Homo-oligomer: A and B are copies of this chain.
Amino acid sequence: MKISKLVSEIHRKKSFLCVGLDVDLAKIPKHLLNEEDPIFEFNKAIIDATQNLAVAYKPNTAFYEAYGIKGWQALEKTIKYLNSNFPEIYTIADAKRGDIGNTSRMYAKAFFEDLGFDSVTVAPYMGKDSVEPFLSFPDKHTILLALTSNEGAFDFQTKLTDGTEFYKKVLATSRQWENSQNLMYVVGATKAEYLTEIRAIVPDSFLLVPGVGAQGGNLEDVCKYGMNKDVGLLINSSRGILYASNERDFDKAAAIEAKKLQLQMEKILSTLT
């Protein structure tokens, strides 16, 4: 999907919400466990209930791999369901991949071509030739980990590297790579106070922002410091929406939580113009 299409969908839906599809069979309503594919049935119900409130969905591949073949099948069915029924929705494979060149090409093929995702998250540790194979796909996006939402982000990402914080070095260096216009970045909502400095380095890039909700990040702060002229933010919520209820009303409860976020986003967007 072209970025311009994503931006126009954000304005049409008055939302820059991304719903993280991190399905844990121990947390979903019990009655779904009798279905042939509980993970997909859960996702389908969540998508149907929230698709008018969200512009993006982000399955985290760990939650599918943990269930082996069945999990992988559920992931395939989920992305196909999204692409067939809601082609206007932006899709993110939260896979955090990254390997030497010929291997990264295989990952890029898996997520962009075979599964048909619009984007994939990638770890920067192995450098340019581990990321560029992802960047070469037109209208597909590579969302590079910059400053993540977890406590461990302070172990390495914020350390002084060549005179600057390491995550800033990742941001600045990656802008020099071929097809860097296809880059987005992960910045945790729990690190909102860093966004001003991040925007100084990547003013135009979209940021995928996890960590609102269960992890404690604040939506207003993220928007205050991170928004740009194209909005430039996808705010992800996973557990806060998916597990709002674990009864038969789980989809309605999810829609209520998504609506709360969408209304906050609508209010913020209205101040932009």
Chain A, range 136-150, C-beta contacts under 8 Å to B: 145, 148-150
Which of A2-10, A46-54, A153-161, A224-232 lines the interface with chain B? A153-161
Known A125-B123, A125-B124, A156-B170; contact A110-B66, beta-carbon cutoff 8 A: yes
A94: chain B residues at CB < 8 Å are 99
Within 8 Å of chain B (Cβ to Cβ): is A106?
A: yes
For this chain, the copies found in one complex come to 2
B124 pairs with A156, CB closer than 8 A: yes
A63: chain B residues at CB < 8 Å are 103, 106
Q: How many residues of A contact B (CB 8 A)?
A: 57
Within 8 Å of chain B (Cβ to Cβ): is A259?
A: no
A173: chain B residues at CB < 8 Å are 155-156
B159 pairs with A145, CB closer than 8 A: no
Chain A, range 76-103, C-beta contacts under 8 Å to B: 76, 94, 96-101, 103
A106 pairs with B66, CB closer than 8 A: yes
Within 8 Å of chain B (Cβ to Cβ): is A129?
A: yes
Shortest beta-carbon distance from A38 to chain B in Å: 16
Within 8 Å of chain B (Cβ to Cβ): is A199?
A: no
